[in-house]
Amino acid sequence: MSKILETLVNQSFLDEFNVLEDPRSTRNRLHQMNEILLATFVGIICGGEGWQDIQDCARAKIEYLRKFLAYKNGAPSDDTYRRFFRHLNPKSLQELLRIWISKIETTVQDQSIAIDGKTSRRTFDDNQSPLHMLTAFASESRLVLGQQKTATKSNEITAIPELLKMLDTAGKIITLDAMGCQYKIADQIIAQKGDYIFSLKGNQGGLLEDVTPYFYDKKEKNSAEYSYFEDFDKGHGRIEIRKCWSTNEIDWLKNKRKDWQTIQSIICIESIRKIKNNESTETRYYISSIKHFTAERFLKAIRSHWSIENSLHWALDMSMGDDYSRIRKGNAPENMLIIKHIILNKLQQVKDKRPRSSIKRLRKMAGWDDTILDEILFQ
């Protein structure tokens, strides 16, 4: 192993595994914790989805793994991974993610952080519900910044404040769907020196009923009270027109809604989609703590929120098989999803340097070419 690679391994990857506490008994250990973790990362990067895949990959790449660690007893078995991750405390892996994010946060200049939840649908077991993870996602750089497990989607309201505590929100815009549209969450974001844009739906019925008539009455008029912007997309046989109105003339709303004193603007977006001879229209409403954005900037920030669905959730399902994963016992589902988030971050950093490579393609290339695998692991 070259001196340069040895330095990278020692300083930026394997040594950081030491923040984890090995949950196993000290007796009868055939493999060190670092050996299990390194083989797991290599297996998932190279396309593995379950314990058997990780075992097979480690056996096929044992000489590669031995460049970094001894593996005196060969590659771990699938049962070794299964038992280890069932008992490993997920907070340890959360700390590992936090360390790696802190090393790249100077390059993460995203203005927007999208927070949204995803259910790993096949991780249910007996009376255990499927894993539902709330994730904070840097919209422009497409990096996972943190996550918080919830019992179900309905528990996101209690999980969002805990996730926000983990994040550096100063100077950032936090975007949330309607589930997170709560004045206490808004107050917390402002206290952490951030701003917010919340989707507004029926769970805030009174507020929605106040905002909707304002745009219904005024959005078609030429008025100085609002900013207006329109954009247009065409492709794959469809045409989509998005119209956005925003206003910060909302003293009437703040006087009526005393709990929502952080609101500075309200926004309406009308999306018109045309596919062949069919046309559909959807109107959505938002509230924000930002006062001086134009409609164009609000539309851009709101559209950036959708990247968590298109870039993160889609990649987890289509490139990493998350919705089909049957890892379901103990802490293993949560631990595996955190590892997938860490690996997606690493893949995204390499993908940024290789614009023509998708996440799926990079995983294949890592399995075929150890130099690509080195780049992903030890950058």
Last residue of a domain, which of 312, 337, 360? 312
| Cα–Cα distance for residue pair 290/246, rounded to 1 Å | 11
**3-class DSSP state of 34:** helix
Q: What is the dihedral of CA 340, 344, 347, 348, to 10 degrees?
A: 180
Shared-domain flag, residues 107 and 173? yes
Domain assignment of residue 117, yes or no: yes
**Long-range contact list for 158-167, CB < 8 A, 24+ apart?**
159/134, 160/115, 160/134, 160/185, 161/185, 161/188, 163/115, 163/134, 163/136, 164/115, 164/188, 164/189, 164/192, 166/98, 166/136, 167/113, 167/136, 167/192
Largest Cα separation within the chain, whole Å, is: 77
Shared-domain flag, residues 275 and 164? yes
Domain assignment of residue 317, yes or no: no
Name the β-bridge partners of 240: 233, 273
β-strands 238-247, 227-235: how paired? antiparallel
| Cα–Cα distance for residue pair 283/270, rounded to 1 Å | 4
The overall average pLDDT reported for the chain is: 86
Name the β-bridge partners of 113: 138, 174
Q: Residues 6 or more apart from 44 whose CB is under 8 A from it?
A: 54, 320, 339, 340, 343
The amino acid sitting at 52 is: Q
Last residue of a domain, which of 256, 279, 312? 312
The confidence score (pLDDT) of residue 349 equals: 87
Q: What is the pLDDT of residues 272-292, one digit of tens each?
A: 999 888 889 999 999 999 999
Domain assignment of residue 133, yes or no: yes
Shared-domain flag, residues 128 and 269? yes
Tell me the pLDDT band of 100, cut-offs 50, 70 and 90.
confident
Q: Structural domain tally of the chain?
A: 2
Shared-domain flag, residues 267 and 163? yes
Q: Which residue is listed with tokens 């299990």? A: 36
Shared-domain flag, residues 366 and 256? no
Residue 108 has pLDDT above 90, yes or no: no
Domain assignment of residue 244, yes or no: yes
Q: Give the H/E segment covering residue 298.
A: helix 295-305
Shared-domain flag, residues 79 and 145? no
Shared-domain flag, residues 230 and 370? no
Mean pLDDT calculated for residue range 180-201: 95
Shared-domain flag, residues 26 and 117? no
Residue 3 has pLDDT above 50, yes or no: no
Shared-domain flag, residues 122 and 171? yes
Domain assignment of residue 94, yes or no: no
Domain assignment of residue 201, yes or no: yes
Tell me the pLDDT band of 11, cut-offs 50, 70 and 90.
very low
Domain assignment of residue 144, yes or no: yes
Domain range for residue 61? 3-87+329-378
Shared-domain flag, residues 191 and 263? yes
Shared-domain flag, residues 33 and 78? yes
Shared-domain flag, residues 171 and 212? yes
Domain assignment of residue 41, yes or no: yes
| Cα–Cα distance for residue pair 31/55, rounded to 1 Å | 13
Tell me the pLDDT band of 71, cut-offs 50, 70 and 90.
very high
